[in-house]
Chain A
């Protein structure tokens, strides 16, 4: 148990569906992240939020829409996805976005399959 909870753990959706991934952290951290993990590829940073403000959008397609209503919750809204978007989506948090210690606390991930 890392203190970061992601739901759902598994999601199958069609290309025309709209769904959302949810992340909640119970660590009192100020920064939250979305990463994409595809087979045999490095973890790709998608979005960074610091004190609820988006500080990084790493050229992510607009079919991925993040939302951070407060420092403890992070959502990733999905619509009109493509099969190549199938991957493990990891949420992480850190004390702040400087994370000099390099420690990110990851959730267990949401495994997304786009048909």
Chain B
């Protein structure tokens, strides 16, 4: 069983729409969850973190966490073509005395004008 699962996409949305990206994870003990964005040919960069059940908003981005369902999502409101990228879900797994980040394979988002 994969530790962090994401739909590979591509997820295609029109400009101005809401993009919804989903992620499930297998380790019930995970406490910290992150979304990274990776533009084509570039390195991943952290855009959101969430630690508690519920929603966390930052500008046009909202992260949602449901630990009971082992589910994390990222909503992007008013999507722009510049949001076109691969979004990586990452979960912190406590192993060997420290936290280790486990990444999903990523969902490719394409926002078309």
Q: Spell out A's residues near B (CB within 8 Å).
A: 2, 4, 40-43, 45, 48, 55-56, 90, 97-104, 106-109
Tally of chain B residues near chain A (CB < 8 A): 25
A108–B42 CB distance below 8 A: yes
* Residue of A101, A102, A108 with most chain B CB atoms under a 10 A cut-off: A102
Asked if B99 is at the interface of the complex by the 8 Å CB criterion, the answer is: yes
Task: List 18 A–B pairs whose Cβ atoms lie within 8 Å, in order of A's numbering.
Answer: A40-B105, A41-B105, A42-B103, A42-B104, A42-B105, A42-B106, A43-B88, A48-B100, A55-B96, A56-B96, A97-B98, A102-B33, A102-B92, A102-B99, A102-B101, A104-B46, A106-B43, A106-B44
Asked if B62 is at the interface of the complex by the 8 Å CB criterion, the answer is: no
Q: Which residues of B are found within 8 Å of A45, using beta-carbon distances?
A: 100-102
Report B14-45 CB contacts with A as 1/0, cut-off 8 Å.
00000000000000000011100000001111
Q: Which residues of B are found within 8 Å of A90, using beta-carbon distances?
A: 43-44
How many whole Å from A62's CB to the nearest CB in chain B?
A: 21
Q: Which residues of A are found within 8 Å of B101, using beta-carbon distances?
A: 45, 99, 102, 104
Q: Which residues of B are found within 8 Å of A40, using beta-carbon distances?
A: 8, 105
How many whole Å from B96's CB to the nearest CB in chain A?
A: 7
